[in-house]
Amino acid sequence: MRFKIFLLLTLFIFKSQSQTSKSLEIDSLINSSIIQKNFPGAQLYVKFNDSVIINRSYGYHTYDSINKVNNNHIYDLASLTKVLASTLSIMKLYDENKLDLEEKVSYYFPKLKRSNKKNTTMFESLSHTSGWIPYISHQNFVKKRNGDLKRSIIRNKKNKRFSIEITDDLYLKNTYSKKIFKRIRKSKLNKTGLYEYSGLFFFYVPSLINMISGYDFESYFKKTFLNNKSSLTFNPSKNFKKEIIAPSEYDSIFRKGLVHGYVHDEAASFMGGISGNAGLFGNAESVGVLLNTLEPENPMFKQSTIQKFTSYAFKNSPIRRGLGFDKPYSSIEYGEYPNKNLSKNSFGHTGFTGTMFWVDPDKKLTIVFLTNRVYPSRENQSFYENNVRSKLIDILIKKWNIYSKF
């Protein structure tokens, strides 16, 4: 009996020392990344089994080291919006048999019937095999040749016709979204059935959700998935003080200043900050709590729905996507993405501003990592060059291996 107690005590001490060692390794990676100016600050949330083992903040909002990042501060989640808001909302409607994945997008949006996108299905759109081009630089259409903003589109003062707030002193024409959808309809269509990441379909998602549910996109998302404690929101400056919102970059293209409290993605800003492709803000903990809805025992979704969306959309295919979700893959050119130690059943997504979440149900591991790597400029590539996200996953998987032994 004494020997058994001694053995358990020894294992507990070893486990505690191992946890401390790995925590120091994680802290070292993130702090060194801040010193190398990969990003000025970050949040990390990690859940293993049913326990949150890390919920920590690092660095500052900017490199001047004035505003320290806290756990309740919020980040621009960028393309995580495509999954956390858009895909989850579509999943819920599918789960309730209100949406058919094989239905054509043009069924819901008849104007597409007169375009080269008339046969695109919901499944193709969510798996990024629709042939729709990746992106349209809508911000280039609001400027004159000399770089000045077109007064027919953007004004410095708010009025009845120009009421869409895109910065503290820039207001977009109310009807401008019609131009955005027209450009999408008229844009080139590449070959369908091949993987090409595209954000264009997600501009239609808010209207799709409204059409089927009867609620506007933001209201549906919040009432369906969020509790009163969640920080997740669109247009954060309407709900939070700017002191707790991490800024993104100095926009030299058309906003001509620091983007702070407004969505970084230009096209999403033209949609009033509420778009299916970008616009969601929040802290790492709120993202982690939302991801709990994808656990098998959670009543939000049927298990078959979770499997449908988070599994590889195409079996025995080099296409790595699920439906909305990203999946692990390996290639000679890019190596293992996002990390070789993740299981094939794992899923996640990344965001342009330096954000990521990844869920590995086999390892019962959830990782949320948020940064504002685009500060002060999107030209900062050191975040990618130093492969920060993969290194972080590597350490955490090793940490999981230690946990799993006991």
Whether 159 is in a domain gets the answer yes
Read off the pLDDT of each residue in 5-13 and give the average, rounded to a whole number: 43
Closest residue by Cα to residue 141 from 288, 268, 254: 254
**In a domain? residue 15:** no
Q: What is the DSSP letter of 74?
A: B
What is the pLDDT averaged over residues 353-371? 97
Rounded CA gap, 394 and 387, in Å?
Answer: 11
pLDDT above 70 as % of the chain:
92
Q: What is the pLDDT of residues 194-235, one digit of tens each?
A: 999 999 999 999 999 999 999 999 999 999 999 999 999 999
Q: Is the pLDDT of residue 4 over 90?
A: no
Q: Does 121 fall in a domain?
A: yes
Q: Name the residue range of residue 137's domain.
A: 20-32+39-404
CATH number of the domain within which 237 lies = 3.40.710.10
Q: State the CB neighbour count (10 A cutoff) for residue 227.
A: 9
From residue 352, alpha-carbon distances to 48, 267, 316, 379 in Å are 26, 14, 29, 11
Mean per-residue pLDDT of the chain: 93
Does the pLDDT value for residue 16 go beyond 60?
A: no
Q: What is the pLDDT of residues 310-356, one digit of tens each?
A: 999 999 899 999 999 999 998 777 688 999 999 999 999 999 999 99
| 53 lies in some domain | yes
Which whole number is the average pLDDT over 266-295?
Answer: 98
Report the percentage of the chain scoring pLDDT > 90: 89
**Is there a domain that residue 2 lies in?**
no
- Distance from first CA to last CA of the chain, Å, rounded? 19
Tens digit of each residue's pLDDT (9 = 90 or more) over 142-157: 999 999 999 999 999 9
| pTM for this predicted structure | 0.93
Whether 297 maps to a domain, the answer reads yes
Buried b (16+ CB within 10 A) or exposed e, 306-320: bebbbbbbeeeeebb
Asked if residue 164 has pLDDT above 70, the reply is yes
* 273 in a structural domain: yes
Residue 338, preceding bond cis, omega within 30 degrees? yes
Fill in the amino acid letter for 279.
G
| CA–CA gap between residue 382 and residue 364 (Å, rounded) | 30
pLDDT for 21: 61
pLDDT at 399 over 90: no
Q: Is the pLDDT of residue 182 over 90?
A: yes
pLDDT of residue 404: 55
pLDDT beyond 70 at 378: yes
The domain total for the chain is 1
Residue 316 belongs to a domain: yes
Mention every residue, 6+ apart, whose C-beta is less than 8 A from residue 89.
205, 209, 217, 220, 221, 224
| Sign, Cα dihedral of 109, 113, 115, 118 | positive
The backbone region for 279, taken as left when phi is positive above 0, alpha when psi lies in -120 to 50, beta otherwise, is: left
